Amino acid sequence: MAMMFIRWRPRTVLSPVVGHLNGVAQSMYIHGEALIHVTRHQQRGAWATEAGGQLFGSVSEEAVRIVAATGPYMGDERSRYRYRSNPQSAQAAISRSARVGLLYLGEWHTHAEDEPELSGSDEDAITTLRARSKLNASAVVLLIVGRAEPPRGLAVYSCDGQTPVKWTLSCGEA
């Protein structure tokens, strides 16, 4: 008898997730299409490997809007507790998005935990990324996708210098 595996699929419509940071007037919005893309790769199985990619959108005085996510790619380095994008594929996604007017805002990846937290290697990665990236924004964003439904299963950090800061997330309107 053949075994049948059912892959969990997120709702086809997800409400935007809104982020706030103490002392900052600017809000962050993670829109439905980006949420659907990243939650499609949640590590729900016992042996599921991390997945990840890049985040794209726009920045204004009032808001950072994450409207698209790409990845994972063929050639990525993936294990249960580690992810690294294929550099050529990631750069190609950044170039394609720039041609349609979307800014590169940062990275996303999954964690095998319900409510994800920044690991030491995540902190090193986001500070290195900020130091090495040529951005049109003052900070880089890191979205970590856990197993719980959004917003509880998401963690968003930004880094504009030395130390990443965590955003408070809730469901909201864009």
- Active site amino acids: 50
Report which residue type is found at 146.
Answer: G
The count of residues in the chain is 174
What is the number of helices (H) and of strands (E) in the chain?
A: 3, 11
What CA–CA distance (Å, rounded) separates 83 from 81?
7
DSSP annotation string for 99-151: HTTPEEEEEEEE-SSSS----HHHHHHHHHHHHH---SSSSEEEEEE-SSPTT
Q: Which residues pair with 54 in a beta bridge?
A: 107
The amino acid present at 7, given as its one-letter code, is R
Question: Residue 92 belongs to what H/E stretch?
Answer: helix 87-99
DSSP state of 160: S
